[in-house]
Amino acid sequence: MNKFAVFSGFLGSGKTTTMMALTKYHTAHHGKAAMISNDLGGKGLADNRYAQFGGCNASEITNECICYVNEQLADRLRAYYAEGCELVVSDIPGFGVGALDHVYHGLSEKFPGQFNLAPFTVLTEPKTVAHLRSGKGGDLDYLLNTQLVEADLIVLNKRDLLSPTEVEEDLAWLRQQYPEAEAIAISALTGEGLEELSQALMTGSASMRRPDIGYGGPVFMEAMTKLSEYYLQYHATVCCNDFDGSAYLRDLAEAVQTAIAAGGYEIPHLKLLAWTAEGDYAKVDLLGTDRAVEPAHSFTGPCTELAVVLNGSAACPYAELDNLITGTAEEVSRRYQLELMIFNKECFGMGAQE
């Protein structure tokens, strides 16, 4: 039976990494699978390029949340099923809520009986669970909590960062807090739990609940107003000899981290992806001002020119975010004697900002 699942979950929880690991695992052990990366920026999302570099059966839906383009999503699903896929997963933007209603109910109302909807899946990670369990509260709590309220299936990702006892404690808390949902623990990085996830999606089905999440209400608007999106694509050419592209990406991520922290802002996730004409590539993740920059993939050799994509979301007014990241990219590139040709930049706030 052909299945479709939405993967929701906060910025950096591991949606892309999990979709990549799952589609590969499912294809190798069960049947053909595919993934769709969805975000608000224009064509060329870092997540989709990264998935394709990683050899995944992957495509993107850009410029709009899949919440509002049900027809485009339906066409894409039909195309994947026509090429023999039995499982397709798509994420939504990492600060998104409301996809249970907009996507699952939207598809089933507009295309009755055409799509088999797997449990609405929401990823979370140990850091988020620890924060919610602490009850400390924060600006983004509405989003962190509401995403989990929508879940039929909660996936505690990054279990490799926890002891077995901690995993059980977090799962018990999640089950008690969100009793409508199943909860499982996986590691997209080690592959632990992928079979359980694959089974849960193929054998389970969406509850089609309609929880009241206060969508569009004052708390929702307040949370969205804090967030801005940033997209930058450029070519970088070194003036002489070659350079270490992996070190460049890492230095850029660390310099952005310093600039964001100095401004008193927060950046839950910035993805920095670069590649050469020969197809070598590197990726670095910046996951907040308090965490070490994580290289996800490194170049195999020195570079003479690169294509670079930066995609990210921050709790920072968009004009300020634009100045901070663009200025930092120019400054770090000068240090590496790179000539930049910027060919696309988008930076916008998620709600009305002063």
Ligand X SMILES: Nc1nc2c(ncn2[C@@H]2O[C@H](COP(=O)(O)OP(=O)(O)OP(=O)(O)O)[C@@H](O)[C@H]2O)c(=O)[nH]1
- Footprint of ligand X (CB under 6 A): 9, 11-17, 47, 94, 157-158, 160-161, 187-189, 269, 285, 287, 294, 296
301-to-35, 128, 274, 340 alpha-carbon distances in Å: 29, 36, 13, 21
Please say whether the beta carbons of 5 and 201 come within 8 A: yes
Two tokens, residue 167: 């995993």
Choose among Mg ion, ligand X, none what residue 189 binds, the Cβ cut-off being 5 to 8 Å by kind.
ligand X
Name the closest residue to ligand X (Cβ).
94
Choose among ligand X, Mg ion, none what residue 330 binds, the Cβ cut-off being 5 to 8 Å by kind.
none
Min dist. Cβ of residue 191 to ligand X (A)? 9
Nearer to Mg ion, 243 or 288 (CB): 288
- Strands 281-286 and 294-297, sheet pairing: antiparallel
Could you tell me how many residues of this chain bind Mg ion (CB under 5 A)?
A: 3
Min dist. Cβ of residue 196 to ligand X (A)? 14
Nearer to ligand X, 238 or 282 (CB): 282
Nearer to ligand X, 294 or 331 (CB): 294
Long-range contacts of 166-171 (CB under 8 A, 24+ apart): 166/126, 170/126, 170/129, 170/133
Nearer to ligand X, 11 or 260 (CB): 11
Nearer to Mg ion, 107 or 270 (CB): 270
Choose among Mg ion, ligand X, none what residue 188 binds, the Cβ cut-off being 5 to 8 Å by kind.
ligand X
354-to-218, 259, 329 alpha-carbon distances in Å: 17, 21, 25
Site for Mg ion contains 152 (CB under 5 A): no
Nearer to ligand X, 18 or 70 (CB): 18
Choose among ligand X, Mg ion, none what residue 157 binds, the Cβ cut-off being 5 to 8 Å by kind.
ligand X
Pattern 44-83, Mg ion, x by CB under 5 A: ---x------------------------------------
Nearer to Mg ion, 236 or 272 (CB): 272
Min dist. Cβ of residue 149 to ligand X (A)? 18
166, 203, 167: which is closest to 183 by C-alpha?
Answer: 167
Per-residue exposure over 77-92, b if at least 16 CB sit within 10 Å of its own CB, e if not: beebbeeebbbbbbbb
Rounded CA-CA distance 272/229 in Å is 14
Nearer to ligand X, 221 or 296 (CB): 296
Min dist. Cβ of residue 170 to ligand X (A)? 14
Two tokens, residue 352: 């009305």
Q: According to CB under 5 A, which residues from 32 to 51 bind Mg ion?
A: 47
Min dist. Cβ of residue 241 to ligand X (A)? 30
User: 3-state SS of 116-176?
Assistant: CECCCEEEECHHHHHHHHHCCCCCCHHHHHHHHHCCCEEEECCHHHCCHHHHHHHHHHHHH
Two tokens, residue 73: 């999503």
Instruction: Give the residue, chosen from 8, 13, 16, 23, that forms a contact with Mg ion under the rule CB under 5 A.
Output: 16
Task: Write the Ramachandran bin of 227: left for phi over 0, alpha for psi from -120 to 50, otherwise beta.
Answer: beta
Phi, psi of 155, deg, nearest 5: -110, 110
Nearer to ligand X, 96 or 119 (CB): 96
Site for Mg ion contains 313 (CB under 5 A): no
The string of DSSP letters for 207-264 reads --------TTSHHHHHHHHTEEEEEEEEEEEESSS-B-HHHHHHHHHHHHHHHHHHTT
Min dist. Cβ of residue 37 to Mg ion (A)? 7
Choose among Mg ion, ligand X, none what residue 227 binds, the Cβ cut-off being 5 to 8 Å by kind.
none
Q: How open is the CA angle 8-126-251, to the nearest 5 degrees? A: 85
Point out which residues bind Mg ion (CB under 5 A).
15-16, 47
